[in-house]
Structure 1
Amino acid sequence: MKILAIHNRYQIRGGEDESFDLETSLLEKNGHQVIRYIKDNKIIDELPLWQVGLRTIWSRSDYRSIRGLIQKERVDLAHIQNHFPLVSPSAYYAAKHEGIPVVQSLRNYRLYCLNSYLFREQKVCEDCLGKSIPLPGVVHKCYRNSRLGSTVVTASISTHRLLKTYQTQVDAFIVLTEFAKQKYIHNGIPAEKVFIKPNFVDPDPKAGRGDGGFVLFVGRLSAEKGISVLLRAWEVLGKRTQLKIVGEGPLQSDVEAAAVNTAGIQYLGRQSLADVYDLIGQATALIFPSLWYEGMPRVIIEAFAKGTPVIASYLGAMVTMIEHQKTGLHFQVGNSDALIEQVFWMLDHPQAWSEMRQAARSNYELNYTAEQNYQMLMQIYQRVLGSVSRVP
């Protein structure tokens, strides 16, 4: 099979970029030919804002380029990971005009939400759901705290809702969890077009020993990740166990200050993937205090692969990914006292925690390997290929 893989990379590399690279490599390992069409958001700062705005709604250049690439390579299927903002939904129309099916992976809520997180002012926000024009996002400047930028993104969302782009131009949507599937169905995506396929970790990093004597946070240092909840909790927990923090982001200065002023916190900055895996394997637990729904956090799957249980907010994807007192622990979202309580439970139940390490590893082997993920992806591809007749 020849697949056109389309992706708009982020300015700061994140989970979607990692997923794109892993998935395309997985396809190639299994004998498929992958044609990559990639744009990088690093060029945004070099472009006039009006040009970026227009491209967000419709990119004429990408429409022409994608049509030409399909004609030249005779690809069987287009799979889009992220089209925002440079490629735009014009990619769907280009593929459809060439008669090939379109698959779209959905790893956030950009179809309805200007900042894609359904998150505002430190809490979940669904004010724009169900609205043909997401005006609350403009009022609150939800896209990069910019009224102009928010207006541009609103124009793109509203235009393609009016055109019914997502209902008519996409043959299959891949979501990560049942939670996300229901959100999309309730907001207008046809149920028969939504398929669940989780993230995966490849190659298998193998289980660690969990003997490092610390717990670990890995992720973007930003408000929606619950950094403030984490730091408040360690004002108490620092006397009992060490917290190591890996990552970068807008709240980095807060983390650096906490590492100086609060006992038990060590900030490690950005680390290589190999070093992150090593740290996860050594950690007693991964702490995941996110305040938003999340898509399917790759770091949780990586923790399971290393046999490390996860202590996470009871919210969104984390509700179904983690089984309380089996593969990890849940605590009330945004509640640092509740996080403290669950860390104390972990420290006070070493035998149960040892058993939970084995359960976490088994969860990875059952649900998140490359082999299982490839079979699920092929089933989706075959489904859409059987439903679309190619234009001769």
Structure 2
Amino acid sequence: MRVLVVHNRYRSEQPSGENNVVDAEVALLREGGVPVGRFERRSDDIAQMSLPHRASVPLRVPWNRAARVALAARLRAERPDVVHVHNTFPLLSPSVLAACAHARVPVVATLHNYGQVCPPGTLYREGRVCTDCVGRAPVPAVRHGCYRGSAAATLPVAVNLTVNRHRWQTGVTRFFCISEAQRRLLVGAGMPAARLVVKHNFVADPGVRRTGGGEHVLFLGRLTEEKGVPLLMAAWDRLAGSLGRPLVIAGTGPLAEAVAAWAASRDDVSYVGLRSAAECRDLTSRAAVMVAPSAWLEAFGLVVVEAMAAGVPTVAPAHGAFEELISDGVTGLLHEPGSASSLAGALLDAVADPSRNLRMGEAARDRYEADFTPETGLRRLVSGYEAAIEAYGSAR
């Protein structure tokens, strides 16, 4: 089986879980003996373009003829058995699906977010979950400037979603949803249920696990409103040091300055900024609990599984993928979404009984070994490719 992975890489200044997933899957397939090629564009390259070329990028978001021509040449030269598409925004566009259709190669697409029904892909606006564009034309997204806070920036994304909706739904043989929660929402929005299957992301064994009860509460991720950072700060203010452990916040993002100032005003909060993968693994292995207070409906929740792999329970809201990743009271605790008092209470409960905390950590590790190891990830990837190839052949 020969696989060609198609992906538009996100900007390096914004650490991307999606980039990490793509890289990990490619490495996993190659280690498993599957020949894999990569057809990629990098958003970092936009900054190096001439001004006219850069200005024309939004016009090519719905359809990039050059990307189609380039991919068609790769398909003729390499003749892969299946193409695995991840992100096509902004430098590839769904024109890559047309190249695959012309070459008669089946396509598998991983849906890393809600971009098929929401221009920014988050289902989140103005501090709340928003489904205004689900199942209908994305006019509200343009009106509210949901992408980068700008109607002008949102317009090409909305046009892309609208004019290419049918192309996605007919040009992709199998969609990989990264959680059942995501799949249910997309099927409810009208996407073809028979083509949507759940394939969770996997996480490599960190090689280090928690020993003892842990030293701190850990938040690890982008410092944004939708990741629940303001909610976490409000909950921690309510706790007023009653946990007996500090809060460590690692990451960067638009709220970095506000978080740094808040942390500087307290002696029980440490903001450590952006950390390397090895440093993140170390921080996780020394955590009493991971906290993931996302305000948006997370399609997966990679930090939850990373905590599982280290034998650490997680506190997260009872919505999105968290409800299927976390068994409440067994591998972690779920709190009421958007409630600072509920989050504070869950954090307090997570560390109040040391023996229970240890049991939850052990159960979290057991869940990781059952469902999220690289071995399981490779098996699901290959079987998904095989099913797509068979379905495509039958359809032809």
**Counterpart of 1:26?**
28
- Alpha carbons of structure 1 residues 325 and 62: separation in structure 2 relative to 1, 3 Å: same
Paired positions, count? 388
How far residue 338 of structure 1 moved from its aligned partner, in angstroms, is 0.8
Contact 1:103 1:174 in 2 (8 A): yes
Contact 2:220 2:303 in 1 (8 A): yes
Distance 1:367 1:242 in 2: 31
Secondary structure of the 2:117 match is: coil
The one-letter code sitting in structure 1 at the alignment partner of 2:392 is: V
How far residue 203 of structure 1 moved from its aligned partner, in angstroms, is 4.0
How far residue 149 of structure 1 moved from its aligned partner, in angstroms, is 1.1
Contact 1:204 1:369 in 2 (8 A): no
Q: Deviations over 1:347-374 (max 9, x none)?
A: 3211111111110110100010011111
> For 1:51, which of 46, 52, 56 is the aligned residue?
56
**Counterpart of 1:387?**
391
Secondary structure of the 1:143 match is: coil
The one-letter code sitting in structure 1 at the alignment partner of 2:359 is: E
Q: 1:141-220 counterparts in 2 under 5 A?
A: 141-161=145-165, 164-220=166-222
TM-score by length of 2: 0.95
Distance 1:386 1:50 in 2: 42
Distance 1:17 1:282 in 2: 26
Contact 2:315 2:350 in 1 (8 A): no
How far residue 333 of structure 1 moved from its aligned partner, in angstroms, is 1.1
The one-letter code sitting in structure 2 at the alignment partner of 1:78 is: V
Give the unaligned 5+ runs of structure 1: none
Q: Kindly indicate whether residue 72 of structure 2 is the aligned counterpart of residue 67 of structure 1.
A: yes
269-278 vs 196-205, greater mean Cα deviation: 196-205
Q: Kindly indicate whether residue 88 of structure 2 is the aligned counterpart of residue 83 of structure 1.
A: yes
Q: Deviations over 1:2-47 (max 9, x none)?
A: 1110111111231100000000111101111111011111123445
The one-letter code sitting in structure 1 at the alignment partner of 2:332 is: G
Q: Kindly indicate whether residue 103 of structure 2 is the aligned counterpart of residue 101 of structure 1.
A: no
- Alpha carbons of structure 1 residues 3 and 340: separation in structure 2 relative to 1, 3 Å: same
How far residue 206 of structure 1 moved from its aligned partner, in angstroms, is 4.0
How far residue 297 of structure 1 moved from its aligned partner, in angstroms, is 1.5
The one-letter code sitting in structure 1 at the alignment partner of 2:155 is: T
RMSD between aligned residues: 1.5
Q: Kindly indicate whether residue 368 of structure 2 is the aligned counterpart of residue 364 of structure 1.
A: yes
Q: Deviations over 1:298-355 (max 9, x none)?
A: 1111000000000011110111110111000011111111111112212321111111
Distance 1:204 1:139 in 2: 44
Distance 2:285 2:129 in 1: 31
> For 1:15, which of 9, 14, 17 is the aligned residue?
17
Distance 1:361 1:387 in 2: 35
Secondary structure of the 1:354 match is: helix
**Counterpart of 2:281?**
277
Contact 1:210 1:283 in 2 (8 A): no
The one-letter code sitting in structure 1 at the alignment partner of 2:85 is: I
Give the unaligned 5+ runs of structure 2: none
How far residue 152 of structure 1 moved from its aligned partner, in angstroms, is 1.2
Distance 2:175 2:81 in 1: 17
The one-letter code sitting in structure 2 at the alignment partner of 1:224 is: E
**Counterpart of 1:222?**
224
**Counterpart of 1:310?**
314
Contact 1:128 1:135 in 2 (8 A): yes
> For 2:255, which of 251, 255, 258 is the aligned residue?
251
Distance 1:305 1:220 in 2: 20
TM-score by length of 1: 0.96
The one-letter code sitting in structure 2 at the alignment partner of 1:284 is: A
Distance 2:212 2:75 in 1: 49
Distance 1:347 1:151 in 2: 47
